[in-house]
Amino acid sequence: MTNDGEFKRQLELPATGVPRTYRARTFGDISQDQLEDLIEGIEIEGVVYGKIDANMERRTGRNQWIEMTLTEGKNREVRRVLEHLGLQVSRLIRTSYGPFRLLDLPKGMAFEVAPRDLDNFRRTLPGNAA
């Protein structure tokens, strides 16, 4: 959360390339090899999605948790890619956004990022002075 609208918009633009990591609980059959193919990107119904680093975390029968890191953040990208691979997504959790990790933060809670950490992160974004 931020009260800086310009900064928020910069973060959400696919061109900014901020890595976002998600954990998805899915149902269906998939192999780690199929997930690794996503590193090359994928085209679905004319929409090209850039590289996605995807790894199987754990599997129980036909249910699995998959961790995915992407940099574009297009609308519903994680769900669309996984559904294209024949999986049903039953839970989706964003675990990190750039260098900021959710960790064990309780539901509904927030924490303040130290100004120094925020300034350091801003300098890594395209178009900002290093």
Q: What is the pLDDT of residue 57?
A: 94
Q: Residue 129 has what pLDDT? A: 55
Separation of alpha carbons 33 and 1, rounded Å = 36
What pLDDT, on the 0 to 100 scale, is given for residue 17? 85
State how far Cα 53 lies from the chain centre: 9
Averaged in consecutive runs of 10 residues, what is the pLDDT profile of the chain (130 residues)?
79 84 96 95 94 94 94 89 96 90 83 87 76
C-alpha span between 12 and 3 (Å, rounded): 14
